[in-house]
Amino acid sequence: MESHEIFREAMNRTGIKTIAGHLRLSTSLLYKWCQPSDTPDASGAANPLDRVRHFCAFTGDASPVMWLCEQCGGYFVRNPDPGEAPPDLMMLDETRRIVREFSQLFDAITKSLDEDGTVSPCEAERIRREWEDLKRVGEGFVRACEAKKSPSTGEN
């Protein structure tokens, strides 16, 4: 599905005038976000999803998407590249990665509690970051396990 289609569906559910008022934007701009903008003669405008996608592609940094996912109550998990490695090696790499991330989470927790037995807001923020990293890596591990299944039987 294209980004302008996502916007169109979301705006149809809530109402374009309601959204325009809440965001303090013109309805004409929102209508343009709901139209294709990938060709020079297209009447649409680059919408926020397209801009974030281009930003992440240009910088190679997915942290804006990670932040957005967290703000919406979820978390970002990068899809593994199927041509990356054989499933057995992917599982081994993901196992190492999950152990490393768990160790970093445990380190953040113990460091914050060692000093005074409490967790400050700054320390809680670090623990949250480590937890989000562990969830992402955990999902990568599960995906590697799923990739190991035999296509014909569904078994390893």
pLDDT of 74 strictly over 60? yes
pLDDT of 132 strictly over 90? no
CB 55 within 8 A of CB 46: no
Phi, psi of 153 (to 5 degrees): -115, -15
Q: Which residues constitute the domain of residue 125?
A: 87-147
Let me know whether 93 and 50 are in one domain.
no
Let me know whether 57 and 91 are in one domain.
no
Question: Residue 32 in 3-state DSSP?
Answer: helix
Q: What is the pTM of this model?
A: 0.61
More reliable by pLDDT, 6 or 151: 6
Give first-to-last CA distance, the chain, whole Å.
Answer: 33
- Lowest-confidence range among 29-33, 124-128, 141-145? 141-145
Q: Tell me, what's the pLDDT at 136?
A: 83
The pLDDT confidence band at residue 151, using thresholds 50, 70 and 90, is very low
CB 15 within 8 A of CB 7: no
Answer whether residue 101 is part of any domain: yes
Q: Tell me, what's the pLDDT at 152?
A: 44
Mean of the pLDDT values across residues 93-104? 90
Answer whether residue 56 is part of any domain: yes
Answer whether residue 152 is part of any domain: no
